[in-house]
Amino acid sequence: MNLVILYQEELAGSGMAVIRDPRRVLHIQNILRAMPGEQIKVGLLNGRIGEGEIISSTPEMMELQVEFSSEPPPVLPVTLILALPRPKTYKKVLQAATAMGVKKFIVIESWKVDKSYWNSPVLSEEETREQFILGLEQGMDTALPEISFKRRFKPFVEDELPEIIKGRLPLLAHPGAVSPCPRNVAGPVVLCVGPEGGFTGYEVALLEKHGMQPVSIGARILRTEFAVCALLGKIF
Ligand code: SAM
């Protein structure tokens, strides 16, 4: 936790904030080892970031004097389309991509996505938001990403994708693609990452037909969570 996210309802009058959630209180005490009188980095969810001076600290609650003085880091101009991975990987990808500045996620169905994954509790609004918060805390950011789920691959690709990629560089991360993934792209990008078993030939062909450009980051095939980070690191 590099930035302690605060919520509007935790703000009291005259610049004071009170945290009662054990996860953050214990992290500040035991991991950051911050004591009364010391400053920690804080940010208001969907707001500005700044400093908080610890006024009092018990295992149950912490009082801070806070001042929000700067804007969160710039958004990464990317829409990340992700074939639904297994629940553990879903959590890792959301956290890591959020820490890197992704603000727009579209999670899609594809042939090699195990159907049971769609019933996982990790997809709930609450658990998804938890991953976003963990990513924001890591990446020193406050702006909550948005996410949508598309359970039907073909209608999504045929009816929605063309509009989504308009004015954006549409990249399909595909091991074995002939074209290398571009570096240091200046404008907005749509990046599509496949499921753990990969996209089928039919799916790749349909994505290409609707504008996606297959690119590779090399001969080594990476796990989804590492591939997402390697791709974003290269593209931006
Ligand atoms: N056996 C699958 C295949 O060959 O596509 C492996 C899928 S990989 C675990 C999951 C996703 O990460 C891929 O669909 C792709 O989007 C991305 N990825 C992993 N390694 C990559 C690479 N070297 N180049 C481009 N994309 C890659």
- Cα(158) to centroid(ligand 1), Å: 23
Pick the atom of ligand 1 nearest to 193's CA: 16
Q: Whose CA is nearest to atom 6 of ligand 1?
A: 198
Pocket of ligand 1 (CB under 6 A): 173-175, 193-194, 196-199, 216-218, 220-224, 227
- Cα(169) to centroid(ligand 1), Å: 19
CA dihedral 127, 128, 132, 137 (to 10 degrees): 10
10-35 pLDDT, tens digit per residue, is 999 889 999 999 999 999 999 999 99
Pick the atom of ligand 1 nearest to 176's CA: 24
Pick the atom of ligand 1 nearest to 221's CA: 20
Pick the atom of ligand 1 nearest to 83's CA: 14
Residue 96 has pLDDT above 90, yes or no: yes
Predicted confidence at residue 212, as pLDDT, reads: 98
Q: Tell me what the pLDDT averaged over the chain comes to.
A: 96
Can you list the pairs that 181-187 forms with residues at least 24 positions away whose Cβ atoms lie under 8 Å?
A: 181/215, 181/216, 181/217, 181/231, 181/234, 181/235, 182/215, 182/234, 182/235, 183/234, 183/235, 184/235, 184/236, 185/235, 185/236, 187/77
- Cα(173) to centroid(ligand 1), Å: 7
pLDDT band at 1 (very low <50, low <70, confident <90, very high): confident
Residue 181 has pLDDT above 90, yes or no: yes
User: Please, what are the domains in the chain?
Assistant: 4-70 (2.40.240.20), 78-235 (3.40.1280.10)
- Cα(144) to centroid(ligand 1), Å: 27
Q: Whose CA is nearest to atom 11 of ligand 1?
A: 194
pTM to 2 decimals? 0.95
- Cα(84) to centroid(ligand 1), Å: 13
